[in-house]
Amino acid sequence: MSGNGTRRRVWPLGLSAREGVATARTGRWTSLLLTVAVAWTVAAGAADAVNVTRLVEGEKAWIDAGGYVFVVTGARTDQQQNPIPAAVCDRLAAIDGIDGSFALTRGDANGSLSYIPGGRASIYAVSAGVATFLGVPPAATGIVIGTLGFADRTGAHDGDVVRVVQRASFSAPAAESDPLTLRIADSAVMGEEFDGAMLMPARLTGTADACYVRTDAAHHAAVEAALPSYLAYNGQPAIPNPRLFESEFTVDYTHAYEDRQLRWLWVPCAALLGLLWGMLQWFRRSHVAIYATFGMQAPSRLTMQASEWGVLAGLGLLWGWAIGVVGAVALGARVTQALAQVTAHALLVVLGASVIVVVLGLRPTGTLLSALKDR
């Protein structure tokens, strides 16, 4: 009988859980302190949401400016710079991972539209792939592409039927084109030097001076490695140059999301909550010792403390999540980023702190007599 009585569980887990909930409810200032601490550490995820939104918007501007564009040129020799095979360049768009490509030939050609006497704009010969690259639709009459700067300066509009008058130059005689449909495109992805110019699609079957290739984040490294052999000339590999190799963009957006420092903000937040909980348990050591004196074993004690933590952490989590989402949106974060980043941060903070709570709850504790001896 005495053996069975000794083995009898004095504190059932259900009773321990109810005791923990009661402690959370009657804790007053200590419970309020922990709830507020959880709420604010969870709400701190708003900072990461705002940071991610800025990265997304910055990356979009970077991509629009040519972030994933390579300007491929031929290898330099002692005599001159090698050209690029134009036909091969135009066919690169059919390769998986390459969104668009076109060849470009530089020269001294310049001219304007027939109804603008005396106008002067640089004219570049480009391969047919330029239409897809710049996102302009084709036309039955053929097209000529004017940049935004050209349209602003001349007042020309997208869809106008025009004739291009080319002035005589060292490389070509004076000429006038057949009627063409004018397409207006943003040439920022190609570089500022083309703003104000016209791009004349032509059948470039020989060589060109440069090849513009656009890829994406997933294929960036692979495309960069393959371009030298794809566009080699006379056995010499081509040179792929990132379009934004030198620019106002100083952030490496290909790794910016993974490398952001606020990604690990949850670690110190969880550690802070664990420290607060540990301090609370230290000041409560005599209180816990009373339970141990009356037969509460480690599993029951852990259940009681975990129940108290669960109630306080749950309230703080909901409160902090609401503050974090609203605060992030108010500070300029997109709603999708606010929901995703604050939620992920909140869960990681609470889970990390919960691990610390469990570890602290597994520590052995003495009886009331032991606690009195420590004083």
Distance (Å, rounded) from C-alpha 67 to C-alpha 288? 60
With vertex at residue 166, the alpha carbon angle to CA 160 and CA 172, rounded to the nearest 5 degrees, is 145
Distance (Å, rounded) from C-alpha 278 to C-alpha 273? 9
Q: Are 69 and 243 in contact (CB under 8 A)?
A: yes
Containing 124, the helix (H) or strand (E) segment is: strand 121-126
Distance (Å, rounded) from C-alpha 361 to C-alpha 298? 8
Name the DSSP class of 74: P
For the full predicted model, state whether its pTM sits above 0.75. Answer: no
| pLDDT profile of the chain (375 residues), mean per 10 | 47 71 77 91 93 87 83 83 89 90 86 78 89 90 89 86 79 79 89 87 87 89 91 89 65 73 92 90 70 64 80 92 95 92 95 90 60 49
What pLDDT is attached to residue 4? 46
Domain residue ranges in the chain: 11-59+258-373, 66-248
**Helix boundaries (H) for the chain:** 2-7, 13-26, 29-43, 45-64, 86-91, 130-134, 148-154, 220-230, 256-259, 266-283, 285-293, 298-330, 335-361, 368-373
What pLDDT is attached to residue 150? 87
Q: Which residues contact 248 (CB under 8 A, 6 or more apart)?
A: none
Q: Which residues contact 181 (CB under 8 A, 6 or more apart)?
A: 139, 141, 142, 143, 144, 159, 160, 161, 162
Q: Quickly list DSSP for 170-233.
A: SSS--EEPPPEEEEEE--TTT-GGGTT-EEEE----SEESEEEEE--TTTHHHHHHHHHHHT-B
Distance (Å, rounded) from C-alpha 337 to C-alpha 323? 15
- Residue of 195, 194, 158, 201 lying closest to 177 (CA atoms): 201
Q: Are 207 and 233 in contact (CB under 8 A)?
A: yes
What pLDDT is attached to residue 346? 95
Which is it for the CA torsion 91, 93, 97, 100, positive or negative? positive
- Beta-carbon-side half-sphere exposure of residue 146 (alpha carbons within 13 Å): 27
Largest CA distance in the chain: 116
